[in-house]
């Protein structure tokens, strides 16, 4: 989830403006950055490795230009180097491009262009786009060439392109955010509105599969048909001081919405590395999944996935309890440790125990360079970006995505697993819209005054019921508990009274009938049934629709409950970012 910002207008300080805008987008990516601007019929380029927030703009003289594009990067394709930093240019420096997203067919396009004699200087998928535009521009206008190039791209993206001798910016998107800000004889394009909120509150929204050509005025087109689209200018009422959290009141809701992008980043790993780690799992003498809190629930869910997808048994142990199970460890054992921060004390202790036994350790983490990263034999970085809210949201689903991919790789079906997750990410992008959030907020209004709530699930969605309860506990302070649906009759059903909310997580799989029967048992005792399911069912008093995601159902099913927990917290006047008694990274035992 990189940051994109651009300016076109009357001011000659375009480079300065773009750098200032990128600094406000640094939370979207901060390992490298760069800008491109029109200078003497050529593209001027400034790229740096490191955080743009540390760049001394006040003491840097930039060339005068009335047009510039910029990018703050969170590395996906290729390492953190100046060569891989955006923008990318063609050999003649006539075209420049910045890009957010993943081009799924970039290897095919890259091979085609290399056969034509194009030389690549980076490891990125983005550089493919700029060479493709340059190739089409040999016989077409800039606009036509860009349109032709974009139509070749598979995947989800947000793209800005400029040409050295033309005062226009071309922007296009599919699945990644991009918004046009409209000023007085000037235009801004950014990943998030806060990047230009100090300059204008007038915006035009660029929708999926749309392209806009920004010159004296913007012209919108459908990417596929080429048909011009009429757009209206919308006045927004956000204040600049809220920019740190973007358009959102809290980091938690911002991070929930970022799941439109983070699943893609999580699965954007080298196939060779995933297959190597799958081989390590297959040859291990006992595999142990460990984590604490939410990460522990992710591990629990993964154990079902390894069983169902790979027909392989893995052990799940809470990090704090792992030392008590150390006698099962052998030199050929593999410990898979899961953590957002990479600094969780109980998980670190578990890793130390594993190392003393000579076992290998694989960590699935968000923070590169963390203690777990350094201690492990192998590490997979989920690339979710900074997660500031205490309640984990985007890191959770990214961890689930990685473990799903590993399960498929263990059954020699990595391509199938990645396709499932790519499709699921697309469904999540469509699901997380204002109407969906409004529906969940209305539900929160109905149940906000209850002090107890229950969540039931079965099979892979039983751990998701446990995680859903954690989310509700963390931020709403409602007494929430998760159960396996079949365990209700063994005691927990005694807790149900008239009107008690009970969330039933129902996947469209072999468990559907059983969990619906469990929900009916609760309903017959007066419970208020909230169904999280791909389809509405007679037993539901309230339905929250989710995509039918097959083995990726845990990912889609937890997201609406994250949203529900958030809105319950706000309605109950709690701070969802800083819940009482909790810290983001538990670094003490």
DSSP class of 121: -
Of the candidates 2, 299, 410, 502, the residue annotated as catalytic is 2
Tokens encoding 87:
């923008």
Tokens encoding 33:
């950055």
The candidate with the shortest Cα–Cα distance to 385, out of 58, 32, 71, 27, is 27
192 to 200, 203, 520: CA distances (angstroms): 13, 11, 44
Tokens encoding 225:
């048909």
Tokens encoding 149:
């190039």
Residues 6+ apart with CB under 8 A from 238: 193, 194, 197, 201, 247
Of the candidates 93, 282, 388, 584, the residue annotated as catalytic is 584
The rounded distance, in Å, linking the Cα atoms of 415 and 273 is: 14
Q: Is 299 a catalytic residue?
A: no
Task: List, in sequence order, every residue forming a beta bridge with 528; answer none if it has no partner.
Answer: 501
CB atoms near residue 370 (< 10 Å): 22
The rounded distance, in Å, linking the Cα atoms of 215 and 211 is: 13
Q: Is 589 a catalytic residue?
A: no
DSSP class of 391: S
The rounded distance, in Å, linking the Cα atoms of 382 and 193 is: 26
Q: What is the dihedral of CA 106, 109, 112, 118, to 10 degrees?
A: -80
The rounded distance, in Å, linking the Cα atoms of 125 and 103 is: 6
The rounded distance, in Å, linking the Cα atoms of 459 and 488 is: 14
Three-class DSSP labels, 12-72: CEHHHHHHHHHHHCHHHCCCEEEEEEEECCEEEEEEEECCHHHCCCCCCCCCCECEEEEEE
Give catalytic residues, as residue numbers: 2, 584
């Amino acid at each position: 989830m990189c940051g994109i910002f651009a300016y076109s207008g009357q001011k000659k300080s375009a480079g300065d403006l773009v750098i200032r805008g990128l600094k406000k987008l640094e939370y979207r990516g901060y390992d490298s950055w760069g800008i491109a601007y029109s200078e003497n019929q050529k593209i001027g380029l400034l790229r740096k490795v490191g955080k743009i927030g540390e760049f001394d703009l006040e003491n840097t003289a930039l060339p005068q230009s009335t047009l510039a594009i910029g990018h703050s990067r969170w590395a996906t394709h290729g390492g953190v180097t100046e060569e891989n930093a955006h923008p990318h240019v063609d050999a003649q420096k006539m075209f420049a491009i910045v890009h957010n997203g993943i081009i799924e067919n970039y290897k095919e396009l890259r091979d085609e262009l290399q056969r034509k004699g194009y030389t690549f200087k980076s490891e990125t998928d983005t550089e493919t786009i700029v060479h493709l535009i340059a190739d089409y521009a040999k016989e077409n206008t800039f606009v036509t060439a860009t349109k032709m190039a974009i139509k070749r791209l598979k995947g989800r993206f947000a793209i800005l392109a400029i040409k050295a001798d033309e005062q226009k910016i071309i922007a296009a998107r599919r699945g990644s955010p991009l918004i046009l800000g409209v000023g007085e004889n000037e235009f801004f394009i950014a990943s998030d509105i806060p990047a230009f909120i100090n300059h204008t509150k007038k915006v035009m929204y660029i929708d999926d599969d749309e392209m806009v050509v920004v010159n004296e005025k913007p012209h919108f087109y459908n990417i596929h048909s080429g048909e011009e689209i009429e757009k209206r200018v919308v006045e927004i009422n956000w204040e600049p001081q809220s920019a740190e959290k973007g358009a959102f009141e809290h980091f938690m809701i911002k991070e929930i919405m970022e799941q439109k992008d983070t699943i893609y980043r999580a699965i954007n790993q080298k196939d060779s590395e995933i297959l190597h780690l799958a081989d390590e799992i297959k040859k291990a003498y006992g595999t142990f999944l460990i984590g604490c809190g939410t990460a522990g629930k992710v591990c629990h869910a993964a154990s079902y996935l390894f069983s169902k997808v790979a027909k392989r048994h893995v052990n799940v142990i809470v990090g704090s309890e792992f030392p008590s199970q150390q006698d099962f460890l052998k030199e050929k054992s593999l410990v898979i440790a899961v953590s957002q921060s990479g600094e969780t004390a109980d998980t670190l202790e578990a890793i130390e125990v594993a190392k003393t036994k000579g076992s290998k350790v694989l960590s699935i983490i968000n923070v590169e360079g963390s203690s777990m990263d350094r201690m492990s034999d192998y590490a997979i970085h989920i690339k979710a970006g900074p997660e500031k809210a205490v309640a984990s949201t985007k890191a959770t689903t990214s961890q689930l995505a990685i473990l799903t991919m590993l399960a498929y790789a263990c059954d020699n079906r990595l391509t199938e697993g990645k396709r499932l997750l790519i499709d699921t990410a697309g469904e999540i992008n469509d699901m997380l819209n204002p109407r969906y959030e409004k529906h969940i907020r209305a539900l929160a209004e109905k149940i906000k005054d209850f002090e107890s709530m229950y969540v039931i699930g079965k099979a892979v969605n039983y751990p998701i019921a446990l995680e859903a309860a954690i989310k509700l506990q963390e931020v709403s302070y409602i007494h929430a508990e998760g159960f396996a649906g079949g365990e209700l009759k063994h005691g927990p059903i005694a807790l149900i009274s008239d009107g008690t909310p009970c969330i039933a997580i129902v996947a469209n799989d072999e468990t559907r009938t059983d969990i619906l029967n469990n929900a009916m048992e609760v309903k017959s005792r007066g419970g208020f049934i909230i169904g999280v399911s791909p389809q509405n069912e007679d037993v539901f008093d309230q339905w929250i629709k989710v995509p039918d995601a097959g083995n990726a159902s845990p990912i889609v099913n937890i997201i609406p409950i994250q949203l529900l927990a958030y809105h319950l917290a706000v309605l109950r006047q709690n701070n969802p970012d800083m819940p009482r008694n909790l810290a983001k990274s538990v670094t003490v035992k």
